Structure 1
Amino acid sequence: MTEEHDGVVVYWRPGCVYCMKLRLRLRFTRLKYTKVNVWRDPGAAAFVRSVADGNETVPTVTVAGRPMVNPSKKELLEEVRAYAPHLLSTTG
């Protein structure tokens, strides 16, 4: 899927406080991203385990296909600026 390779994907699960915090903080940016619930997508859960030492640690985020496990907003935006700057709107 193109957006998984070129964009930002946030892997999350319901009830995860860290997921809620990250998603809330991202609301105040212009970053466009796709959300994937690992409880509803076994392939996504397997992917998260593959990049998180066998754990289903969320949020796990990919930026242009590069995985980050439990990143801060700052870390995530630094990766976006480096690898997918087209996703950050400069208008408004």
Structure 2
Amino acid sequence: MTRAWILPILLVLGGSAIATGQISKGSPGTAAALLLVFLVLAGVSSPLIFPRSLGAREAQRRSAVDGRPVVFWRPGCTYCIRLRIRLGRSARHLHWVNIWRDPAGAAAVRAANDGNETVPTVVVANEPHTNPDPEWVREQL
């Protein structure tokens, strides 16, 4: 759980330090703009922008019932962030599994990707797809 927050915390702390330096130089406007940029980057790289994660077994069970794809992801992954943002509101219709929180999810990703934890890995009808195009994922809904 804590490693998911390392990058966002570092971004907030770094942005705060840079903003403090700008304020001491007499540039409060620049400081506010830089701090805002760092806060947005921290928010985007945090687990907060993703729908609530399930365990791999629960996600696979739900997928078998409703036919919706399962997305294996991890916080800080730029490709996961790209997928989540490009899916927009459609992302709520997928079953999301954070592989840093679920060892079974990490094992499923390694099994699908020759031992690598490459994410996002989207499973549709028990067929894994590594880093698929967001438009293709939307079509699967």
Contact 2:69 / 2:122 at 8 angstroms: preserved in 1?
yes
SS class of match (1:71):
coil
Contact 2:84 / 2:91 at 8 angstroms: preserved in 1?
no
TM value normalised by structure 2: 0.51
Runs of 5+ in structure 1 lacking a partner?
81-86, 88-92
In the TM superposition, 1:7-86 aligns within 5 A as 7-27=68-88, 29=90, 32-78=93-139, 80=140
TM value normalised by structure 1: 0.75
Greater share of residues in helix: 2
State the identity as a percent: 49
Runs of 5+ in structure 2 lacking a partner?
1-59
Q: How many residues align?
A: 80
- The structure-2 alpha-carbon separation of the partners of 1:23 and 1:53, relative to structure 1 and needing over 3 Å to count, comes to same
- RMSD over equivalenced CA pairs, Å: 1.9
Distance 2:78 2:91 in 1: 22
Greater relative contact order (CA < 8 Å, ≥ 6 in sequence): 1
SS class of match (2:93):
coil
Task: Give 1 or 2 for the bigger CA radius of gyration.
Answer: 2
The residue type equivalent to 1:35 in the other structure is: W
Contact 1:7 / 1:65 at 8 angstroms: preserved in 2?
no
The residue type equivalent to 1:13 in the other structure is: R
